[in-house]
Structure 1
Amino acid sequence: MIVGIPKEIMPGEARVAATPETVKKFILDGMTVLVEAGAGVKSHYYDEQYSEAGAEMVDDVSRLFERADLILKVKEPLFNENVGKHEVEMMHPGQYLITFIHPASPVNHNMVKQLAARGVTGLTLDSIPRISRAQNMDALTSMSTCAGYKGIIMAADDLLVFMPQMFTAVGMLKPANVLVIGAGVAGLQALATAKRLGAVTYAMDIRPAANEQAKSLGARIIETGVPEELAVGQGGYAQKLPEEWLAKEREVLAGVLKDMDIVFCSALIPGKVAPILITDKMVESMKNGAVIVDISIDQGGNCEVTPAGKKEIIHNVMVQGIKNIPGLIPTSSTWMFSQNVYNLVKYLSKDGKIELNMNDEIVRSILVTHQGEIVHEGTKEAMGI
């Protein structure tokens, strides 16, 4: 099997789908690996390292797509300005694609239809099930870990006071208060990072199990009072609350926000728009110089006034809506991502070729397009099919 690793073309994307380390693993498994020249430069993995690992470097990305049986990417297929073609146009029937397709997102519906029409088998990393045997393939969890860590570092960088308690010759300065809303993978990493930096940490999640995990990291829990049967959905994820309970959650938040220096927002509902938990009026009530980092912005954001894709001072509060935070630490995030992808390919392969077991839970969850059809249930629902 020939594996193709093209350079990512989304503006600002510094990650790449394979490292020299995973290239070597693929080759030991009997595969041929093609890497587009310069694909890893922005994440500090260089062409000579890929060559030394056994990869064939390819200057012409069209040729790479033409020759490869399997394409590995970080982001969904996009229009490539350099060659004047969409990446899907360069693909061929029977080819496999593994990446974050985000197929249910309306902006990607046309691209998904094109993948199906092209006869490409698309497998999306954002649908890896949260089960024990899929943990080492779960790129979404890996990238959430990166977002939780880097998001707090970004907040600390914009904060105008010290994070830890400081004892100086002129007096003592209190530690910063950090509130994490949504104690999932990203939220827990945010709490751990804020704690390492010396802040006093608080957590708020409607799921009791998530609060227990946050508490184990030393966070003080802000109780919402939401009944567990309303809060917890399939797979332990949060589910959409009735408006009356959302209003009560906002009421609880309004009482604590004024004491916070940093608020990290990561409350998400799978496949749905993120709940608005912080209103414009609540931002106005916060400390001058406080920071909100809203990593749920890709799904609309938890803060009503979060600026998508940038940061802005609103009511004397720095509100960050930066997207693709894992891409801001590309060496580490690429290393994690590439290991996840290698493990998935290894799992799906037999005798050096991909063989899909349609009865397998992992395969059923991630399969988006196959044999000319869109087969992903969440995508079909979003498209009204």
Structure 2
Amino acid sequence: MRIAVALETRTGETRVALVPELVGKLTGLGYVVVVEPGAGAGALHDDEEYVAAGAEVLEEPWLDADVVVSVNPLDASVVRRLRAGTATVSFLPVNQSLDLVADLRDCDVTSFAMELVPRISRAQSMDALSSQALVSGYRCAIVAAGLLRRFFPLNMTAAGTVPPAQVVVLGAGVAGLQAIATSKRLGAVVKAYDVRAAAAEEIRSMGAIAIELELETLEGTGGYAREMTEDRAARQRDLLAPYIADADALITTAAVPGRSAPLLVTAEMVEQMKPGSVVVDLAAESGGNVEGAQPGKVVRVGHAQVWGGANVPGQMPGPASRLYAQNVVNLVTLMTRSGGEGDGEALFAPDFDDEIVAGSCVTHGGAIRHEPTRAALEGDAP
């Protein structure tokens, strides 16, 4: 069976779904790996590296593939040329891709969405949202340090003492915790807040100060926070305002896949920050945590520079691709029956009774299996 690695066509995308060092994992299962020319160039992997690792490089490799792997979903023009029964593995934001999901269904393509992999212990090695959030959180702290025109760490010199920068992080998921850890490693004093009760202990474990507000916590499912009412959101902004005003750098990371990011910080709050302050909004692409943030741009609000994140993992394509590729390989391995070690040909055979397989599948057999997407496209009728 053939696994094709597609060239990413999204503007500015630098990642690749399979890196050369992991090709052997799939050929060892019995797959033939075929790579589209230039697929790894953005992540600094040339075609010769793939060939040396045991892959083939061919134009339009997805035409004869059994499985096609990519970072972003395939273009509709490519989907319509796939053989019936082909499987795709990629990020697939279903709420923003209903027309593409309809094409996948109508073309009898089996599609798996990496962001739908259940957040359970057994699926941790396949959790691409977490692996990419790790990269984003690190990148956010580095961007904040780069934009801020002062030291992050305390410096004691013969000429006097330079105090450390004060950093506030809002959101303590994977990205937020990595932003905290990186800011601490750079020497800043870090304070952080998250609406989930369990997050305070995680914040402290990173050496940061947990901001505690007299508000109800919002524990949700799957490790995410549940949506807050507007009244609570307004009260939270009021209570956070003095912390933000005192910060040299503010990093916001609060986002839930498939929904708009919550507005945590108003323009008025940013205007109270000191001259030279920096705001880094990781959630700018999904609506933004900070009023006025624009994806891929640095804008000025009051005295602060506001950096809006755009495909932040793609700004570090090497590690982001390596981590994502391992997630993909682990998911494909779960759905493979093989003689192993080259003793037999691979058989891509998803077991839809498996919680991970069923949870991540969007379309199969000419039908939409992801119920919220089916309801959005087809209504509630059976």
Percent sequence identity over aligned pairs: 40
**Equivalence for 2:311:** 324
Of 347-356 and 183-192, more deviation after overlay is shown by 347-356
Whether the aligned pair in 1 keeps the contact of 2:64 and 2:83 (CA below 8 Å) is no
Aligned counterpart for 1:75 among listed residues 65, 72, 75: 72
Q: TM-score, normalised by structure 2?
A: 0.94
Unaligned runs of 5+ in 2: 339-345
Q: Deviations over 1:74-110 (max 9, x none)?
A: 012236xxxxxx22233221000000011122xx111
Paired residue type of 1:42: G
Q: Which residue of 1 aligns with 2:235?
A: 248
- 1:278·1:304 contact (CA, 8 Å) conserved in 2? yes
Q: Distance in 2 between matches of 1:146 and 1:18?
A: 17
Residues 143 and 326 in structure 1, CA contact (< 8 A), matched pair in contact too: yes
1:18-69 deviation per Cα after TM superposition (whole angstroms, max 9, x unaligned): 11121111111110010111111221212111111110111x22xx121110
CA distance in 2, matches of 1:221, 1:3: 46
Query: 1:144 matched to which residue of 2?
Result: 133
Letter in 1 for 2:205: S
Report matched runs for 1:7-18 at 5 Å.
7-18=7-18
More deviation, 145-154/34-43: 34-43
Which stretch of structure 1 is more off in the superposition, 305-314 or 324-333? 305-314
CA contact (8 A) 1:134 1:362 kept: yes
TM-score (norm 1): 0.93
- SS of 1:226's equivalent in the other structure is coil
Contact 1:206 1:224 in 2 (8 A): no
Structure 1 runs not aligned, ≥5 long: 80-85
3-state DSSP of counterpart to 2:222: helix
- 2:35 aligned with 1:44, yes or no? no
Q: Which residue of 2 aligns with 1:2?
A: 2
Determine the C-alpha separation between the residues in 1 that align with 2:224 and 2:309. 24
Task: Give the CA deviation at 1:272.
Answer: 2.1
What value does the CA root-mean-square deviation take over the aligned residues? 1.4
Task: Say if 2:122 is the partner of 1:133.
Answer: yes
1:381 offset after TM fit, Å?
4.7
Alignment of 1:32-111 (within 5 A): 32-58=32-58, 60-61=59-60, 64-78=61-75, 86-105=77-96, 108-111=97-100
Find 2:298's aligned residue among 286, 311, 318: 311
Does the CA-based 8 Å contact 2:283-2:309 persist in structure 1? no
- Matched residues, number: 372
**Is contact 2:285-2:309 (8 Å) kept?**
no
- Structure 1 residues 1-385: aligned runs within 5 Å: 1-58=1-58, 60-61=59-60, 64-78=61-75, 86-105=77-96, 108-228=97-217, 231-351=218-338, 352-383=346-377, 385=379
- Give the letter aligned to residue 20 of structure 1: P
Q: 1:270 offset after TM fit, Å?
A: 4.3
> Is the Cα contact below 8 Å between 2:248 and 2:277 reproduced in 1?
yes
Closer, same or farther: CA 327–212 of 1 in aligned 2, 3 Å: same
Q: Secondary structure at the match of 1:104?
A: helix
Distance (Å, rounded) in 1 between the aligned partners of 2:216 and 2:231 = 12
d(CA) in 1 for partners of 2:309 and 2:251?
A: 12
Check conservation: 1:178, 1:260, Cα contact below 8 A.
Answer: yes
Structure 1 stretch 189-198 or stretch 36-45: which is displaced more?
36-45
Q: Kindly provide the amino acid, as one letter, of the partner of residue 237 in structure 1.
A: Y
The superposition leaves residues 285-306 of structure 1 with CA deviations (integer Å, 9 ceiling, x where unpaired) of 1111111111112321111111
Aligned to 2:95, what secondary structure does the other structure show? coil
- Give every structure 1 segment of 4 or more consecutive aligned residues whose post-TM-superposition deviation is greater than 4 Å: 381-384
